[in-house]
Amino acid sequence: MPEKDIISLDQAQMAAERFLEDQFKNLKKLAVDKVKLGSIENILIYDVAGIATIGGGMISKSIEQPFKVQVSAVDGTIVGYDWQRTTEK
């Protein structure tokens, strides 16, 4: 069976960022802390993790949410994600 080419770390990060921008309509800032190649069973994935800053303005406070997005290393599709609300700024 021939080896498949995989996407680059940068391409995986861009795919994760596009996904997060679609999920959070009032996204202010993304800070990616790590992009790591791994696998789930026999599927090669990139784990992209960091903090998303959402909302904020003159009246409301911004919220920081840690996120983790799993991107297929073969075609750049999103195969999983997780985030939780943590702190208000």
Could you tell me which residues come within 8 angstroms of residue 74 by beta carbon, excluding any fewer than 6 positions away? 4, 6, 7, 43, 44
pLDDT of residue 86: 53
> Average pLDDT per run of 10 along the chain, which is 89 residues long?
77 96 89 94 94 82 92 96 66
pLDDT at 85: 56
Task: Determine the pLDDT at residue 1.
Answer: 36
**12: nearest Cα among 53, 69, 66:** 69
Question: So what's the pLDDT on residue 24?
Answer: 85
The helix or strand, by DSSP H or E, that contains position 19, with its residue range, turns out to be: helix 9-23
Q: What's the pLDDT at 2? A: 43
Place of tokens 């770390």: 9
Alpha helices by DSSP H, listed for 24-88, are: none
CATH 3.10.450.630 matches 9-88:
yes
Model's pTM, two decimal places? Answer: 0.82
